[in-house]
Structure 1
C-alpha cells in the first residue's frame, strides 16, 4: 500500500512539475516565465529571447516583426525557436541576465547568453537566427543546392572559389564567423560558377532587391575584411529607408558612418519623385553613405541639425567617421538626381566645408579667470595664442560637468597670475570645432593645448581635483611656474603656529 501511495505521489509531483514548466506559445513565439526560463534554454540549444515591457512603445513596434520572424523560423525544415518574457512580471530571469531597458534581446546558445547583434525587421531577425543555427559557412556542391541556399534566405552570400582547401576559403570562413546578419556559403563546383557566369574568387550577394557581385581580395588583411563588411552592409539595406527609432538602433551603429539625410514631408505632392531622384543620385554611394528619409515631424532630429519645419525640404550629410558629427548642408535641387550625386561626390572628394555651430563671442568672455571660448573665437584665443591652454568641453545638462564647475573656477583663480597658462571652457552643445585632435565624445572632456600649437592637444586623463590639474600643468607646461597656496591652507598653517 505504501508503495502504491508513494508511486501515486511521485506521479502527481512529476505531473505538477511538467505543468509548471510547460511553455505556452503566442503564435509561434514561446512565452517564457520565471518558472520555465531555465528549462527553455536547456531544451533549445539556440534560443532568442525578447525581454519586454507591455507598456513599452519600442516593444510594441517590434512585436509584429518578431512574430513574423517566429513564423518564418518555425516553418523551416528544422524549426528554430524564438521566445519572449514579460520582464516586468517575471523579474527574476530579467535581473539574472542584466536587463535594464526594453526591449532587450539576448541570444542563448547552449545556455550561454550573448547580446543580440541583428536588425529589427522580420527578415533580419530570421536571417540572424538561421546564420547562428548552423556552421559559419555552408558548402554548396551543385546548382540545385545553390538555388536552395538562396531560396532559404532572401539575403545571402555565396563565395565562388577555385578550391575549398585554400587560403581564401579560410579567409571566407573567418569573415563569415564574424558576420552576424548574412548567411554564407561557398563552392568550388565548376557547374555552379558557370551557372552564375562568375569567376572563381568572387562573391555573389543576393538580396530581395537585386544581385551584386564583388571580387574577393583578402590580401589586404584587416582592411580587406572591413571593406567587405561595409560593402555587404551597404547592399543588404534599402537604397533609402525611412527613419524610425527601431531602424536607427541597428543601422546607425553599423560600419557606414556617413549618412545622407533627406528631410521632407512624405504627404507633399510630388515628393515621391524627389525621393526617387535622391535614391538615383545616391545609389553609387550606397556602400559609403546611408540614405535616410526623415519626416518634418521628427523635431528632435531637426533640432540636432539646427533646422526647423520651415527649412524642410533639405538635405544634410552627417559625417561621424572621426567620432563627433560634422554637418554638410546641401545646396541645389533635391528633385535632380545629378545634384545629389554631385553633393556626395564633392563631399567624398573633400571639397565641402562643414557647417559648425558657434555662439557669438562677447568681450566679457575673456575677462573672467576661466576664459569662455566660443566656436568663432577658438582660432584667435587658443590656436593663435602663445599660451598653454587647459580647456574643458562641457554640456550644461551634464551632472559631472556641474560637479567639476566650482573646482574649475578655483583652478582658474589659482592660475590667474600665471601669464603663459590659460584655463578655459567651451559649451560643446552650442559650439563645434573641426580641429585635428579635438574629438569630443563625452562630457566633460579636458584637453591641453600646448603653447607650441603645431602639436596636437593632449587628452587629460587624471583626477578631477584642483591639485591634480596643477600637477598635470606643471609637468606639461612650456615654462615652469608656481602658484600661491590656497587661503585655507595658509589659515591652517597660522592656526598650527598659534598652537
Structure 2
C-alpha cells in the first residue's frame, strides 16, 4: 500500500542518517488522471507544494522501481537541499532548479521507429565505406604491382681531359697509354604512381674497340614517385694500355675525326620494403665498417673469376681505379661529422664535378687510398662533393677546388704535400706517425723500388746517436720525400747502386738523369733539409697543374722559365741539362708548354707577351721581386750567358711597356713604360697623372673628370694632364704590385689572401707580401712609389710638381671635378709662392 509522505519526510535529513550529497536525483510518479477531477485519488495524497515540484502539479515521490507498462509517467531532476546553510533556505530558493528529462511512460513508439531508421542508415554507410576503402586498397596494390619501367636517358658526356702517349703495360709490353676524365649526365625518370625506387647500377664502362678505356660508378640513391632526376657520373682512367685496334687512337690537336665509343652499364631499380629500408639505415650508420666489407667482396670476386689453373688476367686500369674509389668514403650531410669525430686521422678531398684539376686528382687520391690500406695505415680517406653538399663543405672550410685537409682528432690542418699518388702516401704516412721506412733485406728493397721513384736512404750501424737523431728529425720535418733507413750495406747498395762502403751514408735517389746524389756535409737537421731543397727537383722541371704549388714554393732560388712548344723544347733539353747542372744550387729551370694557357699565359702577361707564339725565357727573383727577360734568341749558349748575368747582376730588370704612342694634338698624354722618364720625371712642367687599369670599375668616372679638367686648364702652359695603363706598363719609379699578375700566378681556386695562405701558409711568402697591400679590395692593387707614398686602390691621381718629381702629391679620386680643380689651383699657387719666397 502506498503511503503518503509529508514534505518534511522527503526533504529533511535525520541527524542520525548518513550524510548525503546535496544534489540527488529523485523520481516522481504521477497518475494519468492528475488533471481529472477524481477526488478520491487526489484526496488520498497530500499534494506537494508547487515550489517543490518541478512540474508544479500534484505528484508523489517514489524511490522504487516502476514498470514500463505502468500507466504512470515519470520525470527526473536534481534536488538541491538547503540543509547545511547558515541561515536556512534563501528567499525564492527552489528545490528543483533544472529538469533534465521528462518522459511519458507508454509513449516510446515514435522514438523506437526513429532509432531503428538511424541504425539502418549507419549500417548502410559503414558497408559503403568499407567497400570504398577496400577498393582504394586494391587499387594501390594493383598500381604497385604494375611493371613500371624507369626511363633512362644519357644526356651528355663531356671529356675534360684526354691524353694519349707512349708507355708500357705491367708486363713491359710497349704500347700507347691513355688517360681520360669525362663527366657523364644520366637522366632517370620514375613513372611509378605510388612508390619511389632505390636506384643502383653496375660499373659504367666506356669501351673503345672492345677495350674498357674508362670506368665510373653511379652512386646509390632513392628517387620519389613521378619524378625525374639527373645524375652526374665521373668516368675516368689513368694510363690504360691501348692494345690492337686501340693503338690507332690518338689526340688530335687540330681537327680529327669521330671515334666510335660505347657506354655499357646496367641500372637496377628496387621498390622499397620494410626490410630494405632497415638495411639502408644500417648501411648509412656503418659507412666506415662497410669499406672493409667492400674490399672483401672485391677479393671474393677476384677469387671467383680466377681460373682453375691459378692464373688470371690482371684487371684493367679502369677496373682498378673503380675498385680503388670504393675505398674512399663519400661524405654527405649525414655521415660527415660521424666520420671525422669517429676517426683519429681523416684526409678529406673537397672537389666539384666541373673542376678539371679535381678530376685529374681523384684517381690519384683513390690510388693512394688503396696503397695506404695495404700498408695498414689508420688514415681514413674521404671526399666531399662541395657542389652537392655546400653546407658541409663550408663547415669544413673548403673554398677552392680541389682542397685537401687532414683532420687529426677532429681538428683540421692544411695539406702541404705533392699531388701524385706516391706523394700523397708519403705525406699521409709522415703525418700519421711513420716518417721513416726501415728496410732490412734485398727482397724488401726490391719491393720498395717498385713503388717509389724518389727517396732518401740512410745507412747507420745503429739506429741511435746524434747523426741518426738529425736524420730522424729531418724526416719528420720534410713532407715530400720518403726516408729509408737500413743497417745492411748490401741493402743500401741495392737501393743506391753508387754506394761506397762506409759506416755512415746518406744519399738522394731520383728517377731523373741525375739519379744519385750523395750528401757530403755534416749530419745535421738543417744541413740535410738544405741538401734536399737543392737537389729534390729534376735538373729541368716540367710545370703542371698538380706540381705548380710545389714549384712555386721553392722561393730560395732564382727561377728561369722556358716557355715554348714541346717540340722546340726537346731540341734544347739535352744541352740545357748541362747548363742546369752548373747552376743547380742557385737556379731552378722550369719548362712550361706554351699551349697550356692556364700555365703559360699568366707568365707571358707579366712580360707583356700574351700573344707570343715564339719561345720565351723569363726569370723571376723572389728576394727582389724583379723579373728578367732574355731578349736574344733562345739557344743553350744564350741561356747560359743569361743565367751568368743574373747571378753577377749584369742583366737589367725587365719592365713591360706598350709601344710608344703618338701624342700629337692630344689634350691628355698617353704615357707608357718606355716614355715615363721623358714625359713625367724629366719634364719641366707640372703633371697630373692618372693611373688606371681596364678592369677597374670606377676608373671611367675619373677619366671623364680628367677630360673636363684638361679642357678647363687648357690655357695654362705649365700644367700637363697624362694617363698610364698600369696593367700593361711598368717603371722602376712606379712599382705596381697587382694580385692579378703577381708572381707566382697560382690558380688555387681561392679568391682571397686568407684562402691562399690557408692552403700553403709556409710557402707563398712572396704572394702574401704582394697581396698584403690589397686587403681593402680583392680586385684592387696598391701603387707604391719609391718615396714611400702609398695609394690604396685604382684609379690613382698623382700630381707631380715641376721642381719635385720624386714626391708626387696624391689627389682624392672621390672628389668632384670642381673640388679637384680647386686642389690643383691651390697646389700651383703654393708652389709658385714658394718659388717667389726663395727668389
Distance 2:730 2:820 in 1: 39
Worse-superposed segment, 411-420 or 390-399:
411-420
Distance 2:691 2:798 in 1: 15
Point out the structure with the larger helix share: 1
CA contact (8 A) 1:231 1:287 kept: no
Structure 2 match to 1:328: 629
Distance 1:401 1:71 in 2: 54
Alpha-carbon shift at residue 98 of structure 1 (Å): 2.2
Q: What secondary structure sits across from 1:27 in the alignment?
A: helix
Structure 2 match to 1:458: 788
Could you report, residue by residue, the CA deviation over 1:430-471 in whole angstroms, capped at 9, with x for unpaired residues? 1123x38836244432234xxxxxxx43151669999x999x
Structure 1 match to 2:555: 255
CA contact (8 A) 1:365 1:373 kept: no
Alpha-carbon shift at residue 18 of structure 1 (Å): 5.5
Alpha-carbon shift at residue 96 of structure 1 (Å): 0.5
Structure 1 match to 2:570: 272
Structure 1 match to 2:78: none
Structure 2 match to 1:9: none
Alpha-carbon shift at residue 391 of structure 1 (Å): 7.2
Structure 1 match to 2:323: 27
Q: Does 1:118 align with 2:417?
A: yes
Structure 2 match to 1:67: 366
Alpha-carbon shift at residue 178 of structure 1 (Å): 4.1
Could you report, residue by residue, the CA deviation over 1:59-117 in whole angstroms, capped at 9, with x for unpaired residues? 12222222222222222144644222222222332110222232122122222112212
Q: Which runs of 5+ in 1 are unaligned?
A: 1-11, 449-455, 471-475, 492-499
Q: 1:429-448 counterparts in 2 under 5 A?
A: 429-433=727-731, 435=732, 438=735, 440-442=737-739, 443-448=780-785
> 1:237/1:385 Cα in 2 relative to 1: closer, same or farther (>3 Å)?
same
> 1:440/1:83 Cα in 2 relative to 1: closer, same or farther (>3 Å)?
same
Distance 1:147 1:158 in 2: 11
CA contact (8 A) 2:470 2:523 kept: yes
Distance 1:417 1:446 in 2: 31
CA contact (8 A) 1:106 1:114 kept: yes
Q: 1:95-106 counterparts in 2 under 5 A?
A: 95-106=394-405
CA contact (8 A) 1:146 1:192 kept: no
> 1:384/1:87 Cα in 2 relative to 1: closer, same or farther (>3 Å)?
same
Q: Give the alignment partner of residue 673 of structure 2, picking from 360, 372, 375.
A: 375
Q: 1:138-287 counterparts in 2 under 5 A?
A: 138=436, 153-158=452-457, 166=466, 176-184=475-483, 196-197=499-500, 203-209=506-512, 210-216=515-521, 225=526, 232-233=532-533, 235-255=535-555, 258-266=558-566, 272-287=570-585
Alpha-carbon shift at residue 49 of structure 1 (Å): 1.4
> 1:245/1:45 Cα in 2 relative to 1: closer, same or farther (>3 Å)?
same
Structure 2 match to 1:295: 593
> 1:258/1:399 Cα in 2 relative to 1: closer, same or farther (>3 Å)?
farther
> 1:194/1:186 Cα in 2 relative to 1: closer, same or farther (>3 Å)?
closer
Q: 1:10-25 counterparts in 2 under 5 A?
A: 16=281, 19-23=284-288
Structure 1 match to 2:64: none
Alpha-carbon shift at residue 233 of structure 1 (Å): 4.2
Q: Does 1:318 align with 2:648?
A: no
Distance 1:465 1:430 in 2: 15
Q: What secondary structure sits across from 1:126 in the alignment?
A: helix
Worse-superposed segment, 417-426 or 232-241:
417-426
Could you report, residue by residue, the CA deviation over 1:10-52 in whole angstroms, capped at 9, with x for unpaired residues? xx98993553341466533413222222222234322221111
Structure 1 match to 2:32: none
Distance 1:129 1:121 in 2: 12
> 1:208/1:414 Cα in 2 relative to 1: closer, same or farther (>3 Å)?
farther
Aligned length: 453
The two structures have a TM-score, normalised by structure 1, of 0.68
Distance 1:490 1:280 in 2: 62
> 1:487/1:203 Cα in 2 relative to 1: closer, same or farther (>3 Å)?
same
> 1:191/1:123 Cα in 2 relative to 1: closer, same or farther (>3 Å)?
closer
Distance 2:583 2:788 in 1: 35
CA contact (8 A) 2:738 2:781 kept: no
Could you report, residue by residue, the CA deviation over 1:303-357 in whole angstroms, capped at 9, with x for unpaired residues? 5255578743x340331424756232263564x5x55444433332333334432
CA contact (8 A) 1:51 1:84 kept: yes
Worse-superposed segment, 407-416 or 372-381:
407-416
> 1:215/1:396 Cα in 2 relative to 1: closer, same or farther (>3 Å)?
farther
> 1:202/1:72 Cα in 2 relative to 1: closer, same or farther (>3 Å)?
same
Distance 1:385 1:309 in 2: 33
CA contact (8 A) 1:205 1:212 kept: yes
Q: Give the alignment partner of residue 87 of structure 1, picking from 365, 386, 410.
A: 386
Distance 1:77 1:385 in 2: 73
Worse-superposed segment, 253-262 or 401-410:
401-410
Q: What secondary structure sits across from 1:376 in the alignment?
A: helix
Could you report, residue by residue, the CA deviation over 1:157-179 in whole angstroms, capped at 9, with x for unpaired residues? 3567899555x777666655443
Q: What secondary structure sits across from 1:71 in the alignment?
A: helix
Alpha-carbon shift at residue 154 of structure 1 (Å): 4.0
CA contact (8 A) 1:391 1:446 kept: no
> 1:133/1:332 Cα in 2 relative to 1: closer, same or farther (>3 Å)?
same
Alpha-carbon shift at residue 409 of structure 1 (Å): 9.0
Distance 1:200 1:422 in 2: 77
> 1:19/1:275 Cα in 2 relative to 1: closer, same or farther (>3 Å)?
same
Distance 1:481 1:31 in 2: 57
Could you report, residue by residue, the CA deviation over 1:232-252 in whole angstroms, capped at 9, with x for unpaired residues? 245333333444333324323
> 1:422/1:259 Cα in 2 relative to 1: closer, same or farther (>3 Å)?
farther
> 1:469/1:92 Cα in 2 relative to 1: closer, same or farther (>3 Å)?
same
Question: If you compute each CA radius of gyration, which structure gives the higher value, 1 or 2?
Answer: 2
Worse-superposed segment, 320-329 or 87-96:
320-329
Q: What secondary structure sits across from 2:346 in the alignment?
A: strand
CA contact (8 A) 1:131 1:182 kept: no
Q: Which runs of 5+ in 2 are unaligned?
A: 1-276, 292-321, 494-498, 740-779, 800-804, 823-839
Alpha-carbon shift at residue 375 of structure 1 (Å): 0.9
Q: What secondary structure sits across from 1:48 in the alignment?
A: strand
Alpha-carbon shift at residue 417 of structure 1 (Å): 13
